[in-house]
Every structure is written in C-alpha cells, then in structure tokens.
Amino acid sequence: MKALTGMIMQSGSSPSTANIKYLCGFDAPDPFFYLHTSKGGHLLVSTMEKGRALRQSRSGTGVYTASDLGLSGKKVFDKVEQIKALMQHAGVRSLKVPSDFPAGLFQLLLGSGIGTSILKGDPCPDRAVKKSEEITKLKGCQKAAAMAMESAINMLASARVSGDGHLRVGREVLTSEHVRRRIQAVLLEMGFTASQTIVAGGEQATDPHERGHGPLKAGEAIILDIFPQSETTGYWGDLTRTVCRGKAPTGLKKLYRAVKAAQAAALSTVAPGISAQQVHAAVEALFEERGYETGTVGGKHVGFIHGTGHGVGLDIHEMPRVSSASTAILEPGHIITIEPGLYYPGLGGVRIEDTIVVTEKGWKYLAACPRKFELF
Amino acid sequence: MKALTGMIMQSGSSPSTANIKYLCGFDAPDPFFYLHTSKGGHLLVSTMEKGRALRQSRSGTGVYTASDLGLSGKKVFDKVEQIKALMQHAGVRSLKVPSDFPAGLFQLLLGSGIGTSILKGDPCPDRAVKKSEEITKLKGCQKAAAMAMESAINMLASARVSGDGHLRVGREVLTSEHVRRRIQAVLLEMGFTASQTIVAGGEQATDPHERGHGPLKAGEAIILDIFPQSETTGYWGDLTRTVCRGKAPTGLKKLYRAVKAAQAAALSTVAPGISAQQVHAAVEALFEERGYETGTVGGKHVGFIHGTGHGVGLDIHEMPRVSSASTAILEPGHIITIEPGLYYPGLGGVRIEDTIVVTEKGWKYLAACPRKFELF
C-alpha cells in the first residue's frame, strides 16, 4: 500500500486562506491548519472554533481540536505536534506544503523528521474555473458593485458646480470621502464590505492605487473603482468607471475614448482557447495605434502601467492573470476583469473595468453597468 | 568590515503586512518586498505603486521598481532576481526572513545560493509597546467602537418585545443583521470598517466566533463584539458588551455577574512587571470560585474556552497575548484587551471586553463604555 501524502495548509496568508475556504468551506480570524488528502479534508481548530467549524465545513471534513487528537499539556500549543497528530489521525506519512506556507514552520517540520516538500505550482488550480453556483454568487457581487456605482454617479451628476470649479451639494464641497461613504453605505445595506473603494479625481487619478481624498472638481477625470466582498459568501465583485462632471477638456475626452476602445478591443479577443497575453496585447496595440506611450517621464511612470485584468473569486486578485507575463489560456468558467487604463500627470487618469465570465461561445458581463464619461 | 545582513519581508501574510507598515509606513493590496537593514529600509514595488510608496513611506526609505534596480525582460517578474537586485543595491550580503515568509520563496533563495536564515522570534518586538502617537490613534479607534456600541444598545433598548418574545421595531422583527448594519453604518460615518462585527443572541452567543443571524429575542444574552479598523491609520479598536432586552433569567444574571467580576479581577492585577499568565489566572480563579467549570459536555466545549486577551495595534490580534500559554510580562505602553467570557449551551454566552493601556502606575481604559446587562 502506498503511503498517503497530504497537503497541509495554514490560513492567514494569500492564497492559502481562500484555498482552504474553497476546499472545505471554513475560515476563521486566527490561523488554523487544514490537511487535504485524496481521502478527504481534516481541520485542526481551536476549542473555541470547533462548533462553528463543524457547522460551516463541507460534509466529509473532519474537525478536531488538539485535545481531540490526544495532545495535552504544552503539546496542545506546539504546531509541529499538532500537525504530527493530525497526520497520524488521517493516516498521512508525508506532507506537501503550498509555496505561501510559513517558512519557519516548514523548517521545523523538516527538523522534526517529517518528510515535507513544497508543492510546485498552484495547490488549487480548479479555483480559476468557476462552477455554476460560484458564477451565481459572483454575479450577485458584481450587481451590488453596479448598484453602488449608479448611486455614486448619480451623486456626482446631481452635484452643482460652483464658481471655483468645486462640486457642491448645497453649500458643502463634495469630496472623495463623501462619495466613498455613499458607495460603502449602499453596499453595506446589501451585505457587502468595500473598505478600499477608490474615488480619485484629477492628479490623484493618475495613480491607480490612490484611494482619493479631498474636494472633487468639474472638468477632471474621476476614477471610481468599487470592489465589494460579500459578507455571506466571501466572493468579490470588481467594477471601475471614470466620469467627468461637466465638459471634459478635449485631450481628456480623447484619453477616455482610447481607454473605452481598448476595453472593447480586449473584449473582442476574449474566447476559450485564446491566451490571456493576446487579450493584453490587444490593449497595448490600441494604445500604440492612438499614440499613447508607456514609459518614464520626469521620474514618473505614465501610460498603461498595469495589467489588463485578473481573475476574481474568493480572492479579489486570483488566477488567471491577464497581463504580458501571464501564461493562462482562457477557458469557459474563467471570471476575469478587463480593465485597461491610461495615466498621465497633468492630463488625468482613466480606467474602465468590467468583470466577465468566459463562456463556450465567447464571454458575458457578470452585470450590466452603463459607460458614460461626461455628466451634465 | 562586517558584511551587512538584511531582513527581507513580503507583505500578504500576518504579521508581516503589519510589520512592514510599522517599519516603513507603506502597505498595498498586492504582495511586495521590504528589505530592512540597520542602515535603513528599501521597498521594491510595482511600477504602479511607486508614486504612492514614495508619498506614504517614512523618510529614509528607498523606493524602487524592478527596472529601477536594473532588471529587464523576464527578470523583472522573477522574485529571486528582484531580491538579489535589492540586496546588491542595499549592500546586503545575507538575509534573514521572518517565520511567516513564504516557504516556496525561502527555498528558492537557498537554492540560488543566497545565505538565508529564518529569524528566531519576533522581527518587530517593538510593536507591542505603543508610542504616544500610536496610543492616540488607538484611543480614536476605541472611541469609535464605543460610539457604535452605544448606538447598537440604544437600538436594542428601544425595541419593543412582542408576544412571541421577539424584539421588534414597528412591526418588523429586529435581527442580528439589522443591529450589525447599524453598527457598521455608525463606524463608516467615522471612517472605520468593521466587517466581522458580532451580534449573536441566545444559543448563537454560546459560540464566541459566531457572527449571529436572524431574529433577536427578549430574555436572552446578546453578545455585541465590535472591532473597527481605521481606514486612515490602519489601527484597530476592540470592545464587547453583553446585554439582555428585558428581564434575564436568574441563572443568566448570575453568569453575567461572574464575567463582570472576572473582568474586574483581571483588571485589578494589571500593572507593569505582572505576567500576562497571572492576569489570565485571575479570571480562571474567579470562575472556579463561583463554580463555573470549563470542559467538554456532550461533545461541546463549554465554560471559559478562550484566552483573557490580546494586544491590539496594526493587527487586531497581536503581542502580548494574555493567556495560559503567554510568556509576556506587562510593560507601560502595552495595549491589551481584557475579555473574559463564559459559554454554556442552554443557558447562554457572556463576554465583556475592554481595551486598556498599561501605564507606569497600572492601567487606563482607552475609551469609556458603560456596562449594563438588562435593558428596559
């Protein structure tokens, strides 16, 4: 009989936390172990978590505390002893660990004579291709993002423009913070959290991860990037629109049109069997054709300075990536963002992002959301 | 000249993400590297993050992209090459990694001939003792938690009790979800997120990490555990109250009094030089004295099934721990929770938690919050 090998994972780092949730249905605020074998899964949790782990984990998952496994005294808190006991219980003789497993514990396992090797590649490659119930959950997340976007855009459209160019509601200057709170409040009502929502206008929008702060102005590009996580399912949505209150300067309007065309170009390439690199290349080609260069100007990186997209699921950024370095080939059930962007200090930043599902015939939006740049 | 050793950390796991933020001021949604040496810190970030890293990192921190360090082609995306280039730039000849560093990358570093060892102990022991500006930030977090608690308790106190024992606002049954949304909405207004807030009544409250769902009833213990994170500073608050709408059964009232007395007993031991174990032992002694046993009854873990407390800072759970396994000795500037609890299915769950700062003379609450069990 061949000795059974198990994969031991610890929650608390990415992607292991999401992998464990995917494989056995359980997550918790503090680190815990999950041993996955061809015969089933085994959770080792604290005394306090046992009841919840029994309720939330998928059927067939064994749930144990250290004392259930016969540990006592100081051994209860010793991670190597915990893993040894779990292995014995599961009939496992050697271990694999995912690459994000903690190095300190990996070395202790080796030092204690347990045959342990690091898994090459993705411990959970199935996650990239979503099952139909996952697609349903992800549609719900994307719809929530679209509803929050609608509310935010209505807020910007209905703001008045004062003499100094600031957007105002009544007398009060409308800020990134106001719009972000509106987005978060709408999402909260629907059971979603979205703590890092981006509402960035003007120069701030030229930095893709700047969350945005302070007064919003007319005639500037304002990037709204909303990525809510469902409090019940743990899945994410991801949606970006760029708008301008009032008339946009000609250069900015051209920039917007280029990004919109780049997104359309990327989407037109998406189909099963197509490489993610090819989708990214469609964006690069469009920008090159229109003369938008990417590079370093005055020490700042400008142009198309990020990838075209990423998978979305139990992690906000997961497989497959859609970038120049990606080796992924698109498959039905892949859920990816398509989010080209251009960033030029002095002019502005524009990003347009939708989340789509790759289908047998091509692709579909997870949720509809209008694209409108100038708001009057 | 002695060759310089640096500590390389990758964001994305706990506690490294918070350690990096503590040491250099920067964090980001995707993993990045931070090399810490006795001569200063060095960040290696994506092109897209560079501007933000320059603005947000502490002065004296070097900020580089892979191409700034001379990498090109495929090497730009190769983590070992990135770390090698960063080491060369910083004049570092060998590496230490924290124990939560990813095992896969640790093995690749060793395989590429870079002298790399795992740091024994905490890479950032200073984090446990808070500086005065940190204490100010943490007070703000705890005050926000107290304001949200007040709002939630008012909601419960003002609900009417219908004939079936349910709490109602107008005709609608008041649920855990309603109260949680109220808490989150109050926190959102103040710039805090609190996605895992616990509002758990009756049997649900006997599981300390159950978030709570469905109708709330009169005459049952309802645990409210609020732990907001500031969107601006990244610091956390942590506060728990247990309440009962209407008259509580005698046994439940006794249970509440025991937990309240246990918290007082623990607090009375807190002072510089006292061991965290001693604080925990004060809770255990009080519960034993009152006849509340901890153990397994019908396969369920009941009684005092968690530690007495934990440090709070840039992580919600950090050093020092206050438990039977803790080796910490309390020092001025430690910020810890004191949160005894008792959980008995059939009777209910009670937890009372405050976050305090250890001072030269003893300790102080970070924020005031009344304790009242029965709400009429």
- pLDDT by residue (tens digit) across B261-296? 999 999 999 999 999 999 999 999 999 999 999 998
The mean pLDDT value for A121-147 works out to 97
Pick B196's closest partner by Cβ from A29, A97, A184: A29
Q: Note whether B105 and B233 are same-domain residues.
A: no
Q: How confident is the model at residue A296 (pLDDT cuts 50, 70, 90)?
A: confident
* Mean pLDDT value across residues A197-214: 96
A98 CB neighbours in chain B (<8 A) are 104
* Set of chain B residues whose Cβ sits within 8 Å of the Cβ of A101: 102-104
Q: How far is CA A54 from CA A7, A18, A88, B207, B300, in A?
A: 21, 18, 21, 12, 11
Note whether B88 and B151 are same-domain residues: no
Q: What are phi and psi of A157, to 5 degrees?
A: -65, -35
Would you say residue A47 has pLDDT above 50?
yes
Chain-chain contact of A209 with B105 (C-beta, under 8 angstroms)? no
3-state class of B103 per DSSP? Answer: helix
The model's pLDDT over A93-119, given as tens digits with 9 standing for 90+, comes to 999 999 999 999 999 999 999 999 999
Residues 38-97 of A with CB under 8 A from B: 46-52, 65, 74, 77, 97
Mean pLDDT of B48-66: 93
Tell me which H or E stretch contains A105: helix A103-111
Report how far apart the first and last C-alpha atoms of chain A are (Å, whole number): 73
Region of A44 please: left (phi>0), alpha (psi -120 to 50) or beta: beta
C-alpha–C-alpha distance, residues B256 and B248, integer Å: 10
**CATH at A320:** 3.90.230.10
DSSP per-residue string spanning B220-289: S-EEEEE--EETTT--B--EEEEEEESPPPHHHHHHHHHHHHHHHHHHHH--TT-BHHHHHHHHHHHHHH
The answer to whether A252 touches A347, Cβ cutoff 8 Å, is yes
Tokens of B123: 């890479």
Query: Among A327, A330, A326, which Cα is nearest to A357's?
Result: A330
Percent of residues, chain A, with pLDDT higher than 70? 99
pLDDT band at A298; cut points 50, 70, 90 = confident
Strand partners, B166: B217
Note the pLDDT of residue A4. Answer: 87
Same domain, A140 and A288: yes
Q: Does A33 share its domain with A110?
A: yes
Q: Is it the case that residue A1 has pLDDT exceeding 60? A: no
Helix (H) or strand (E) holding A266: helix A250-269
Q: Is the dihedral of CA A327, A330, A331, A334 positive or negative?
A: positive
Query: Is residue A199 a contact partner of residue A152, using CB atoms and an 8 Å limit?
Result: yes
Mean predicted lDDT score pLDDT of chain A:
95
* pLDDT tens-digit map of B113-136: 999 999 998 999 999 999 999 999
The residue with greater pLDDT, A185 or A299, is A185
CA gap A80, B11 in Å, rounded: 24
C-alpha closest to that of B117 among B41, B5, B277: B5
Contact (CB<8Å) B48/A306: yes
Together in a domain, B273 and B181: yes
Place of tokens 């970070």: B366
Residue A249 and residue A283 share a domain: yes
Tell whether A102 and A31 lie within a shared domain. yes
Q: What is the mean pLDDT of residues B62-76?
A: 94
Distance CA A136, CA B265 (A): 51
pTM of the model: 0.93
Which domain covers residue B34, as residue numbers? Answer: 4-123
Residue A93 and residue A188 in one domain: no
How many A×B Cβ pairs under 8 Å?
A: 133
How many structural domains comprise chain A?
Answer: 2
Classify residue B237 by its DSSP letter: -
User: Domain check: are B211 and B297 in the same one?
Assistant: yes
Token pair in block for residue A223: 């990037």
pLDDT score of A67 = 92
Last residue of a domain, one of A97, A123, A149: A123
The distance in angstroms from the start CA to the end CA of chain B is 73
pLDDT band at B2 (very low <50, low <70, confident <90, very high): low
Can the peptide bond before residue A320 be classed as cis, meaning omega within 30 degrees of 0?
A: yes
Q: Do A100 and B97 touch (CB under 8 A)?
A: no
pLDDT computed for residue B1 by the predictor? 44
Q: Which residue of A has its CA nearest to B29?
A: A209
CA dihedral B253, B258, B261, B262 (to 10 degrees): -140
Q: What is the mean pLDDT of chain B?
A: 95
Q: What phi, psi does A375 have (nearest 5°)?
A: -110, 120
How open is the CA angle B342-B345-B350, to the nearest 5 degrees?
A: 30
What's the pLDDT tens digit per position in A237-284? Answer: 999 999 999 999 999 999 999 999 999 999 999 999 999 999 999 999
Q: Are residues B232 and B247 in the same domain?
A: yes
Q: Which among B307, B302, B299 has a CA at the least distance from the CA of B282?
A: B307
Burial of B140 (0-12, 13-18, 19+ CB in 10 A): buried
Residue type, A128: A
Is the pLDDT at A313 greater than 60? The verdict is yes
| The predicted structure's pLDDT at residue A3 | 67
Residue B336 has pLDDT above 50, yes or no: yes
Out of B123, B156, B191, a domain closes at B123
Nearest chain A residue (CA) to B325: A77
Does A117 share its domain with A142?
Answer: no
Task: Classify strands B4-10 and A374-375 as parallel, antiparallel or unpaired.
Answer: unpaired
On whether both A84 and A178 belong to a single domain, the answer is no
CATH code: domain of residue B99:
3.40.350.10
Higher-confidence residue of A172 and A29: namely A172
Task: Give pLDDT, residue B296.
Answer: 87
- Among residues B83, B106, B123, which one ends one of the domains? B123
Contact A14 B13 (CB under 8 A): yes
**Quick check: helix, strand or coil at residue B50?**
helix
